[in-house]
Structure 1
């Protein structure tokens, strides 16, 4: 009888301890790590988007996140590693927002252009996103510059697919169309950057209309080539 009671009392505390290690406040250890990581990503967006990568420190990031340095190094090796993660997060957010809107564009090429540019300028009203994607990524280290180049390649490929859809009879090779896409995207991102640096003083309608003229000039030439190949 006594051994049975002894066994009962020695196993119960062990079970409780195991449970306490597994969950805390209703969250597992993995969930708590992910939550802390998300808080640092939000802090990175704020600090990198205002002070820049060169002005950011681990201490400032921890203060913004409300966490200690121990938790910073739990997920990131240094500030550049966090910047890479924030850059990836924001560039994916831009691409997902833009891609989701492409399925609902109007029929005519002109109306498609206006709607697509409105999508771009709408999400780019976030000055922190613009600073990270368009300014800080260019001034950062080589690894981040490589990531930025890869994203620009991806944006260009999406644009080439859109051009092919609009003008299925084009015989221009993909490398030529990709060069056109780089030119158009570069022009639009330049307008976005200057719009942000100027404090978004111009109306969105004005910056969209100016960009539409640039894009439409190219689209008209592509339309002519498309008609010739029918």
Structure 2
């Protein structure tokens, strides 16, 4: 039999779904299963056999996509962060063109995503603090989110203001994002007894105040 024919048959779509798409679907199923296990019981309860059982897949499909359980956890964390970024950007894009509305939309979208999924809350706010791999990933994510804030500010206030503010923008954004993270943590665990709307309103006020202050400040020569 022609070798090329064998290869072609192996790569042929099955039921209208290509081999690559089927592999992606299996990977997503494993991540969905990891989301449920880690989000309800923690990373300590995540095993290969348990993960595959939850996903309804043979263990050989696990090794098709992941080398170890830490790789699963990292991929899960990255998927959640990517979804959070998508939700925030979509909210900002659809909000009216003023600083208050765009800040409120971004913060509200992030808070609502967390409200809707307790598993995501545990992964981001508990497991990410106690697992060494995720702790490093979390630090990178904070810088990424801060960069999103800076980018949004630059687009809103314009290139001249962005040039004037310089690297102080990222410094301020790190404070805002880090503070928002801690504030949301306190709100979730009940140590900050305020409503969802109060959380969004007060956080929005701080973001707008800091952004406006930086945009209107003329820095002295040094």
Range of TM-score over shorter length: 0.7 to 0.9
CA distance, structure 2, for counterparts of residue 129 and residue 54 of structure 1: 16
Give 1:24 deviation, angstroms: 4.4
- From 168, 174, 195, the equivalent of 1:182 is 174
8 A contact 1:48–1:56 mirrored in 2: yes
2:127 paired residue number: 136
TM-score if structure 1 supplies the norm length?
0.77
Superposition deviation, residue 77 in structure 1: 1.5
Alpha-carbon distance in 1 for matches of 2:10, 2:123:
40
Unpaired runs of at least 5, structure 2: none
8 Å CA contact retained: 2:12, 2:18? yes
* Residues 216, 34 of structure 1: alpha-carbon distance in 2 compared, 3 angstrom cutoff: closer
The one of 163, 167, 173 equivalent to 2:166 is: 173
Question: With structure 2 as the length reference, what TM-score do the two structures score?
Answer: 0.80
Q: Which residue of 1 aligns with 2:56?
A: 66
Cα pair distance change 1:33/1:202, threshold 3 Å: same
The CA RMSD over aligned residues, in Å, is 3.1
Distance in 1 between residues matched to 2:52 and 2:204, nearest whole Å:
42
Aligned residues: 212
- Give secondary structure in 2 for the equivalent of 1:103: helix
Q: 2:23 aligns with which of 30, 33, 50?
A: 33
Cα distance, 1:212 vs structure 2: 2.4
How much has 1:192 moved relative to structure 2? 2.5
SS in 1 for 2:44: coil
Unaligned 5+ runs, structure 1: 1-10
Is the CA contact 2:100–2:205 (under 8 Å) kept in the aligned structure 1?
no
Structure with larger Rg: 1
| Distance (Å, rounded) in 1 between the aligned partners of 2:157 and 2:9 | 61
Cα distance in structure 2, aligned partners of 1:67 and 1:156: 38
**1:9-24 residue pairs with structure 2 within 5 A?**
19=9, 22=12, 24=14
User: Relative to structure 1, is the Cα distance of residues 180 and 79 closer, same or farther in structure 2, using a 3 angstrom cutoff?
Assistant: same
